[in-house]
Amino acid sequence: MKVNPKRNFWIRKKVLVTGGNGFLGSHLVGNLKNLGADVFAPGSKDFDLRVRKNCREIVKNQEIVIHLAAKVGGIGFNREHAGEMYFDNIMMGAMLMEEARLAQVKKFVALGTICAYPKFTPVPFKEEKLWDGYPEETNAPYGLAKKMLLIQSQAYRQQYGFNSIFLLPVNLYGPGDNFDPASSHVIPALIKKVFDAKKNRENAITVWGTGRPTREFLYVKDAARGIILAGEKYDKSEPVNLGAGFEISIKKLAEKICNISGFKGKIIWDKSKPDGQPRRMLDTTKATKEFSFSASTSFDAGLGKTVAWYMKHVIND
């Protein structure tokens, strides 16, 4: 059963959402406003969070900080921008949490990443396995930078009694995703690739890797609801997974997108390119137990809505 956030918790709460103009952020900000929160979602052009004085400025008078802002991208982007992925993400998180503490913010919600898990984590990934090995190499700079938010969160709770929590979302997808091939994740990248092939009347698409790795995907609206529920109900230092509790191979994913999109051509697998982590699927037991979260959107339904959004807003614009 889907559990929804409570309006009486959020009414007139002053909430800062970093990355609030992004893919997940735009859904989250809309939900928070509907619940009556007073939301501040500054843009990265106005407030570069790698600059400490900007972090100090935006946390003033805020009650809750939800830190979504991050430099993100797919495997290719991570390989080409490894230094930036580490530096930008670790600096944003470290300075923002410190300034939130100094400003006596009541709660800090930090978003980590499934890329923080070890490369060969047993499936389903349990939060207790987070430190049992090194992350998959192509994602390690990003994954470890975000993982440091957990260390900071726990250290600040221990020394200062600062109420910060750490959530580990799986790969997100849905309407409004990033379809830029230079930085997009697998679902939007495949959707664009398929529709580009249709437009150019090509009879095949080329996809990185072997198609064998598995991934789990969480619909963006479910993710936003999970973050809000955690903001209401969860006040502990242990990390919590946010996911949908299933896995699908990249091969089957590509086939699904081709079917939904009406593409009849071949899928060619470029095995010279990396696969990334072999398998990904989260154990979502803790999120259900601690703040009554479970995903409510089926993957087929969510994928259909994502393709429909792309056709309407990207192709027909």
Catalytic residue among 86, 142, 156, 173: 142
Confirm whether 81 is domain-assigned.
yes
Phi, psi of 100 (to 5 degrees): -65, -40
Residue 314 lies in a domain: no
169 is annotated as contributing to ligand binding: yes
Collapsed DSSP state (helix, strand, coil) of residue 166? strand
By three-state DSSP, how is residue 165 classified? strand
d(CA 164, CA 248) in angstroms, rounded, equals 32
Is 19 assigned to a binding site? yes
* pLDDT reported for residue 197: 96
Within a domain: 53: yes
- DSSP H/E element including 18: strand 14-18
The b/e string for 155-164 (b: 16+ C-beta within 10 A; e otherwise) is ebbeeeebbb
The confidence score (pLDDT) of residue 2 equals 82
Q: What pLDDT is recorded for position 48?
A: 96
- The reported pLDDT for the residue numbered 129 is 98
Q: Give the span between the Cα atoms of 78 and 72, in whole angstroms.
A: 8
Residue that is written with structure tokens 């900007």 in the block? 54
CA proximity to 66, closest of 83, 85, 42, 45: 42
pLDDT for 304: 97
How many Cα atoms within 13 Å fall on the side-chain side of residue 7?
Answer: 4
Q: How many domains does the chain have?
A: 1
201: left (phi over 0), alpha (psi -120 to 50) or beta: left
pLDDT below 50 — which residues of the chain? none
Q: What is the pLDDT of residue 1?
A: 65
Beta carbons within 10 angstroms of residue 151's beta carbon: 11
Establish whether 89 is an annotated binding residue.
no
224 assigned to some structural domain:
yes
Residue 143 annotated as part of some ligand binding site: no
CA distance 291 to 232: 8
Q: Is 234 a residue of the active site?
A: no
Kindly report the CATH number assigned to the domain that includes residue 56: 3.40.50.720
Q: 27 labelled as ligand-binding?
A: no
SS3 content of the chain, % helix, strand, coil (to 5): 45, 15, 40
What is the number of H-type helices and E-type strands within the chain? Answer: 11, 12
4 is an annotated ligand-binding site residue: no
Q: Is 22 annotated as a binding residue?
A: yes
**Does some domain include residue 166?**
yes
Would you say the pTM of this structure is higher than 0.75?
Answer: yes
| Helix, coil or strand: residue 146 | helix
62 within a domain of the structure (yes/no):
yes
Asked, for residue 104, whether it belongs to a domain, the answer is: yes
Q: 309 a known binding residue?
A: no
- CB of 113 within 8 A of CB of 95? no
- Angle at which helix 140-160 crosses helix 82-102, to 10 degrees, equals 20
Q: Which domain holds residue 127?
A: 7-173+217-246+279-296
Do the beta carbons of residue 27 and residue 224 sit within 8 Å? yes
| pLDDT at residue number 43 | 85
Q: Is residue 252, in this structure, part of any structural domain at all?
A: no
Tell me what pLDDT residue 76 has: 84
